[in-house]
A and B are shown apart, each in its own frame.
Chain A
Amino acid sequence: MFTTGSKLFFGATGLSVAGAIVFAITTGGPTGLMGTVGLLSLACIFGFLGGINYFNGDGNVPAMQQGVQYTSAAAQRPVGLSMWPMVAAFSVGGMVVGAVSKPVVFKVAVAILIVAIMEWMVQGWSERASADAGYNASVRKRVAHPLEFPILGALGLGAVVYSFSRIMLTVSKEATPWVFMVVGAIIAVGAFLFASKRRISRGTILGVCTIGAVALLGAGVASARQGQRTIDEHPTTVDSALCLEGGTEAEVDDHGSQDVSAKSNVVANIYLQSDNNLNARIAGFRDPKDNFSTITVPRSTDVRIRFHNESSSPQRLTARLGTFDQESEVVMCTTAINPGKEAFLTFKIPKTNAASGTPMELQVPGVEGQSIAIVVP
């Protein structure tokens, strides 16, 4: 007769074979082939494990002992009730619902089903480990806790982080530092009180932590339902049609080009000075002695320029990047920025300036007679 353990594995073998057949029929192409091969491989593994279990009588007693499959601890009925069959049944129902509604429901149900089966297996095994209930409970902990604690911890931490992030994205930009400080202060003060009161009861700590967690999760759910605050986008460049025009007060945006990585990789700083002179300070040369009227940049490489508006009116920096073959001139520019502000411009030039039909240069629309030549060797 089949032993208890071998029944489980042979059942899993049959399930894998059935799954492989269904998958092969319903899913075509390379994905279908790969999935079918995977499921059949799983069936082979389960079949092998089932055979081993059948041969050695679940490993609990000598395989050749007569009648042991009826008398060993492993053959006894479980002593406790288990919620896992019910959870597994609900998850199967969830899979059916998910299959006809949302994929995410299906995936969550599959995850719960896997957890339920694992827990059911561990419980079934541990309760038959010996006739001593205390020992059985200890082996269950030894097997299950190394998996349960990290997973539950990660889920708990994820819930806290996600809830807090929803809250921070919902409250106004001005309020976020205050929320951060107040929550941090409450946690710090609470921890200080717990640490300083030696006789505080475990129940009190648990109650306070539970209230805090529920409040955080509740606020997170409420924030997620309300949605994010409006976050303005600040484009770094504007429509090239505007790049050659002066008088840009209508669309000044001082918050453009806030990319931190760009700030640390500028090839040159371009200054429009108060007297409307335009000059370049090239990164690496002594500053501010070396002012250039040309910048040399390698071809086919990302080039980052920082524009400083030291004039008295809003201005933008325009890059005229050449005319190649029959195509029209390539023009890029920053958004217009107020006096005293900075903007960034990133571009890549694939060909030398010798290949361009028009000069490559940086200029400020409306400021006549000033430009920085771009040399691409």
Chain B
Amino acid sequence: MLLAGCAKNAPQDTFQPAGSNARKIDGLQRELFYISGVVGVIVFAFVGYAVWKFKDRGQEIPEQTHGNPKLEILLTILPAVILAVVAVPSIAAVFELDKKDNDCVINVTGQQWWWEYDYVQGSTCGGVEITKSIVTSSELVIPADVDVLLRITSRDVIHSYWIPRLNGKRDAVPGRLHTLRMQADQPGIYTGQCTEFCGLSHARMRQAAVALNKADFQTWVTNQTADYVAPEAGTLAATGEGTFQAQCSKCHQVNDLKTADGTPVLAAPDLYVVSGVAPNLTKLMTRTAFAGWTFDLISAECRDKLWNAPPDEFGALYLQGVTPECFDEANLRTWLRNAPAMKPMYADPAKLAATGGKTRGMPNLNLTENQIDELIAYLLERK
């Protein structure tokens, strides 16, 4: 425990709150820690004194007494008073964390083993109009210094959403809608992970909240709702578009993608995946990681630069997305070569009788190296 406290690269730290909600929790837990610490010290001091004072040294057993009403009343009232004192800030914090005045509402849906976010069409988020629905995964993008309400649910099993520096955790339960408020003081990236054991790759179900200032958030929304741009004819990416349609589009949606004859390419993950969804890849390269935010899309150097960027420079750096210079091709290539080898996902076709042939993640598509080259070229333009 002590050694874990010495970790330098530990971004999921509740003791470093970065928003008003997390700060309330942090303040409360510090108050309670001090009170319970004093009580603990007193109790241990008395126990230690009794152990030392009355140690068996061969002396006669002292006189045994039974019942002391004054002492018993005191020892009943004192803890009750302490608990009553502790209850005041605790209950106040519960009500403050449950306030309803939100400036943005985002749907958060968990499934094995990644998070999906969709932004309510026709609403405003921190003053920015969401004119067209946005659906993304793993990275929750929010405006900084704005009260955001997450409406959390699940499509398969119980998960739990937690960004430690922004608020406490909230369970995602199928059939139920739970809410969690988020607010980040400054632009930056705040990491988290699923905290309810949810199956084989629970440890690889991570997420992040990315806070942008209003102008940058407007730019992000505009980009997310922009029309599809097809790859230039004759390029490797254009070939990759066809490969994507043949291999990936059964589950993964790229908005506005059309076949050569103009027919919309519509994913039907409900036919192939237990949860009924797969990550939308329309703007894959605007994110920094994939597969439940487990594997980086950008190199370690670029990631460090982004994570450590000052708040006023963070947005511009983040909005660059995955650039050719920063692209960590090895991760994506290995994933496309055999995804279940990187992240266990019950995707072996021979073992899917219980789910009617549906997988809980991406199976091995047995792609050739040429197909992988084409897909990487195509996906690199999805930003």
Q: Which residues of A contact B (CB under 8 A)?
A: 261, 264-267, 282-286, 290, 292-302, 304, 350-352, 354-355, 375, 377
Contact = CB atoms under 8 A, between A and B. Distances in A.
Contacts of B249: none
B133 A299 contact: no
20 contacts: A261-B175, A265-B175, A266-B177, A282-B105, A283-B151, A284-B105, A284-B179, A285-B102, A292-B120, A298-B116, A298-B153, A299-B270, A300-B155, A300-B269, A301-B155, A302-B153, A351-B266, A352-B253, A377-B118, A377-B121
A299 B276 contact: yes
B107 A286 contact: no
B305 interface: no
A265 B177 CA distance: 5
What is the interface residue range for chain B against chain A? 35 or more
A261 B177 CA distance: 10
A292 B123 contact: yes
Nearest to A262: B175
B118 A298 contact: yes
Given A286-B100, A301-B153, A375-B121, A265 B176 contact: yes
B119 A296 contact: yes
B270 A300 contact: yes
B174 interface: yes
Contacts of B116: 298
Given A296-B119, A296-B133, A267 B177 contact: yes
A377 B134 contact: yes
Contact of B121 (A294, A298, A304, A351): A294
B234 interface: no
B120 A261 contact: no
A252 to B, nearest CB: 28
B25 interface: no
Contact of A285 (B105, B174, B255, B275): B105
Interface string B252-270: 0101000000001010111
A354 B266 contact: yes
A285 B119 CA distance: 13
B119 A286 contact: no
Contacts of B176: 261, 264-265
Contacts of A285: 102, 105, 123
Interface in B258-307: 264, 266, 268-270, 275-277, 280
Given A298-B116, A351-B270, A355-B268, A377 B133 contact: yes
Contacts of B105: 282, 284-285
B339 interface: no
A352 B240 CA distance: 24
A293 B155 CA distance: 26
B45 to A, nearest CB: 40
Contacts of A261: 175-176
B175 A302 contact: yes
A98 B343 CA distance: 55
B123 A290 contact: yes
A294 B134 CA distance: 14
A304 B176 CA distance: 9
B118 A293 contact: no
Residue of A285, A292, A377 most packed against chain B (CB within 10 A): A377
Interface string B84-114: 0000000000000000111001010100000
